[in-house]
């Protein structure tokens, strides 16, 4: 994993240091938001360019607007080529460790 490249991608995708642009509100964002904290694993699937990332970004933005610390959220879009070296569970764990370091430095 190219640590600096992945770090830059994480900063670009997440709301940690900036507000992200939120497109037209998607119908499903409130429904999915209501499932958070109830023990469900939520998977957003669909064809390319159908609004999956927009829904996730809307949910995260709503959480932040309700007072959630932006550093308690993590968005990873594997369509971004900067995440291309993440192929195994160990790679994913390394990404998670990097996220934890970012959170720790923030505090």
Tell me the domain boundaries of the chain. 3-106
Percent of the chain with pLDDT over 70: 99
Q: What's the burial of 58, exposed, middle or buried (CB within 10 Å: 0-12/13-18/19+)?
A: buried
- Model pLDDT, residue 43: 85
Short-list 95, 90, 73, CA closest to 8 = 95
Token pair, residue 78, equals 């594997």
User: Is the CB of residue 2 less than 8 Å from the CB of residue 79?
Assistant: no
Ranking 7-16, 52-61, 69-78 by mean pLDDT, the lowest is: 52-61
- Model pLDDT, residue 107: 62
Residue 69 to residue 55: CA distance in whole angstroms: 19
Model confidence, pTM: 0.85
pLDDT in tens, 14-47: 999 988 777 777 778 889 999 998 988 888 899 9
Mean pLDDT of 56-82: 93
- Output the CA torsion sign for 79, 40, 11, 89: negative
Q: What is the rounded average pLDDT for all residues in the chain?
A: 91
Q: Which residue has the tokens 């490249």?
A: 5
């Amino acid at each position: 994993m190219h640590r600096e490249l992945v770090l830059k991608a994480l900063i670009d995708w997440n709301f940690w240091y900036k507000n992200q642009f939120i497109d037209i509100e998607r119908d499903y964002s409130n429904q999915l938001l209501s499932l958070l904290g109830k023990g469900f694993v939520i998977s957003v699937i669909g064809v390319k360019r159908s609004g999956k990332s927009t829904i996730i970004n809307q949910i995260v933005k709503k959480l932040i607007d309700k007072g959630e610390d932006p550093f308690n959220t993590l968005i990873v879009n594997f369509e971004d080529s900067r995440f291309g070296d993440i192929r195994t569970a160990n790679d994913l764990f390394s990404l998670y460790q990097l996220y934890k370091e970012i959170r720790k430095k923030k505090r």
